[in-house]
């Protein structure tokens, strides 16, 4: 009996613990919808001159505010912790909504990132203060933008333009604070993987159904 207990502790228990933690620390198998059917972008100016839409894309959405250059460290954290690993997914984009007049600061940030990162999925979009406030308000978030029209948080928008996040009362999380690298490495990365797995599983299901037909 003692021998069996020792074997269990040494070999079986570590495997069980690994499977538990590998399954996702937040306990979700599908990330809840916080705000359904959010508004798509208008015909706003982009830094690269390309048209941008939220439809059909998993979007990491941020609001830079007028202190874009001052808060560039937040974008650096996001770039290192999330973007570097996942920007090669063709259905993923990182969009920062900025007030008009901050184009030069955005260009400097992109140029700095370009020295060590493929910046193809970094998209900076520029709108008036009124347009930014209107867009942010329809997301129905608890927290408000600061007086410079920015926030250190970023948000996950799925391919159907639904705002996704944690919904439990004890674990309510609408967005992810880019000021804290640990939050990006843990909560955001965990939730982002759930979204990607969701679409990957749906793709495999549709593919298998097509084969049967």
So what's the pLDDT on residue 20? Answer: 39
Q: Are 148 and 65 in contact (CB under 8 A)?
A: yes
So what's the pLDDT on residue 203? Answer: 59
Q: Report how far residue 101's alpha carbon sits from residue 124's, in angstroms, rounded to the nearest whole number.
A: 12
161: left (phi over 0), alpha (psi -120 to 50) or beta: left
Per-residue pLDDT of the chain (213 residues; tens, 9 = 90+): 655 554 554 555 555 443 434 444 444 468 999 999 999 998 898 998 888 999 999 999 999 999 999 999 999 999 999 999 998 888 999 999 999 999 999 999 999 999 999 999 999 999 999 999 999 999 999 999 999 999 999 999 999 999 999 876 555 678 999 999 999 999 999 999 999 988 877 656 565 544 444
Considering the domain delimited by 28-212, tell me its CATH architecture: 3-Layer(aba) Sandwich (3.40)
Q: Report how far residue 110's alpha carbon sits from residue 118's, in angstroms, rounded to the nearest whole number.
A: 10
140: left (phi over 0), alpha (psi -120 to 50) or beta: left
So what's the pLDDT on residue 10? Answer: 55
Q: HSE of 54 in the Cβ direction (CA atoms, 13 Å)?
A: 23
So what's the pLDDT on residue 180? Answer: 95
Nearest to 133 by CA among 39, 59, 53, 32: 39
So what's the pLDDT on residue 45? Answer: 87
């Amino acid at each position: 009996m003692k021998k069996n207990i020792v074997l269990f502790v040494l070999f079986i228990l570590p495997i069980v613990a690994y499977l538990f933690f590998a399954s996702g620390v937040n306990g979700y198998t599908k990330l809840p919808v916080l705000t359904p059917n959010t508004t798509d972008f208008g015909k706003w100016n982009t830094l690269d001159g390309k048209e941008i839409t939220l439809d059909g894309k998993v979007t990491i959405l941020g609001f830079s505010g007028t202190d874009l250059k001052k808060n560039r460290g937040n974008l650096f954290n996001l770039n290192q912790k999330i973007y570097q690993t996942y920007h090669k997914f063709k259905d993923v984009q990182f969009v920062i909504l900025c007030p008009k007049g901050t184009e030069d600061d955005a260009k400097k940030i992109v140029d700095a990132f370009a020295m060590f990162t493929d910046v193809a999925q970094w998209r900076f979009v520029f709108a008036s203060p009124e347009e930014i406030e209107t867009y942010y308000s329809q997301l129905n978030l608890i927290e408000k933008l600061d007086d410079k029209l920015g926030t250190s948080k970023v948000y996950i928008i799925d391919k159907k333009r639904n705002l996704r996040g944690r919904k439990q009362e004890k674990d309510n999380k609408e967005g992810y604070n880019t000021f804290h690298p640990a939050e990006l490495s843990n909560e955001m990365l965990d939730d982002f993987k759930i979204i990607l797995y969701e679409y990957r599983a749906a793709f495999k299901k549709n593919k298998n159904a097509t084969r049967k037909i």
